[in-house]
Amino acid sequence: MIHLIDKLFINNSLTKEELIFLLDNLTESDRDYLISKAYETRLRTYGNTVFLRGLIEITNYCKRDCCYCGIRASNSSAQRYRLTEEEILQACINGFELGYRTFVLQGGEDAYFTDEKLIKIISSIKSKCPEAAVTLSLGEKSESSYKALYDAGADRYLLRHETATKSLYESIHPNMSFENRIECLKDIKKVGLQVGAGFLIGLPNQTNRDIVNDLIFLKELEPHMVGIGPFIPQKNTPLRDEKGGDSHTTITLLAIIRLLLPNVLLPATTALGTIDSSGREKAFKAGANVIMPNLSPFECRKKYALYDGKVFTDTESAEEKKKIETKIKEAGFEPVLSRGDNITWKRI
């Protein structure tokens, strides 16, 4: 096993069979070694920095019906909201004044936000918050839309593939196409945006083989960012009674991803922090190097309920930022507010 981990550390790749063997047989002491190698790798690529990104949840209207997600279209208990252009811009300006230099606009797939509206929003953020990076996470679009958003100044786009096993994907995404999701990720990369893929851990019936499909897919796509987190059941969804993912597996997988993709930007996600209060600090030690504090207006935070138990602080953003920075420092890392682009990326 140690030999296998060394091989992963040196070559940044393993075969499918080797990855399955690794996941099936990893002992606690092997895992400690794996995590130490992931830590060594992150020190070499991004040092001990943790990048802070301001997250703004712009809408919870969604036309999709993902079976795990609390803002799915069929959830009639969800209280829907959408921020106005002014509210989005104001949230960015507030964040910019606190020092944030990346804003992540995330939401459901909401037809209200046309390309035209998004282009206007991106342009105004870019003019009021010069030098700041804009990341979008608004679901599946056409290649021409991704291109238009990139041309308007968007820098990055997050679209988790959710699971790389077609049958599992289709069982939890009614009326969605696995092939289209993958096409979108390729299009995002092709137009020049930094692309973020990623998957859910602990989905019903998900096996280590499915997870290895995710790892192989990520290695092939070579995204600039990877977002992974535990699936957490949400009470108004068809998967309400399922078990969900755990922190231990999530952290093991963060370490493996750091070794497979040494240059990747890898967030310690809110979902991980939700199921394990010290999960994010453990994640930094296993190779994660991004955290996304919430800058959404307070009134909408509890409505963006993708899963149960999501922490809705109504702490002032300034205070929240300080708290997070203190936690990062206490864990032995350095909080950084700069754009924090992937070190291999340049705007073309």
Residue 210 touching ligand SAH (CB under 6 A): no
List the structure tokens of 209.
């083989």
Closest by alpha carbon to 210, among 259, 164, 261, 160?
164
Q: Which is nearer to ligand SAH, 51 or 113 (CB)?
A: 113
CB 244, min distance to ligand SAH, A = 7
Residues in binding contact with ligand SAH, number by CB under 6 A: 19
The span of 32-40, 119-127, 135-143, 311-319 binding ligand SAH (CB under 6 A) equals 135-143
Length of the chain: 348
**Which pairs count as long-range contacts for 10-15, CB under 8 Å and 24+ apart, including other chains?**
12/259, 12/260, 12/261, 12/262, 13/219, 13/260, 14/260
> Contacting ligand SAH (CB under 6 A), which of 35, 58, 69, 193?
69
Q: Which is nearer to ligand SAH, 239 or 328 (CB)?
A: 239
- List, edge to edge, every strand of the sheet that includes 54-59: 54-59, 102-107, 133-137, 156-158, 194-197, 225-226
Query: What residues form DSSP beta bridges with 156?
Result: 135, 194
> Contacting ligand SAH (CB under 6 A), which of 42, 307, 317, 321?
307
Residue 187 touching ligand SAH (CB under 6 A): no
Residue 18 touching ligand SAH (CB under 6 A): no
> Contacting ligand SAH (CB under 6 A), which of 49, 75, 137, 247?
137
> Contacting ligand SAH (CB under 6 A), which of 108, 223, 267, 273?
108
| Alpha carbons 144 and 191: distance in angstroms, whole number | 9
Position of minimal CB gap to ligand SAH: 307
Cβ count near 305 (within 10 Å): 21
Which amino acid, one-letter code, is at 144? Answer: S
Q: Residue 341's Cα: distance from chain center in Å?
A: 15
The span of 87-95, 136-144, 147-155, 311-319 binding ligand SAH (CB under 6 A) equals 136-144
Query: What residues form DSSP beta bridges with 102?
Result: 133
> Contacting ligand SAH (CB under 6 A), which of 8, 133, 271, 275?
271
- Residues in contact with ligand SAH by CB under 6 A are 68-69, 106, 108-109, 137-139, 159-160, 162, 200, 229, 231-232, 234, 271, 306-307
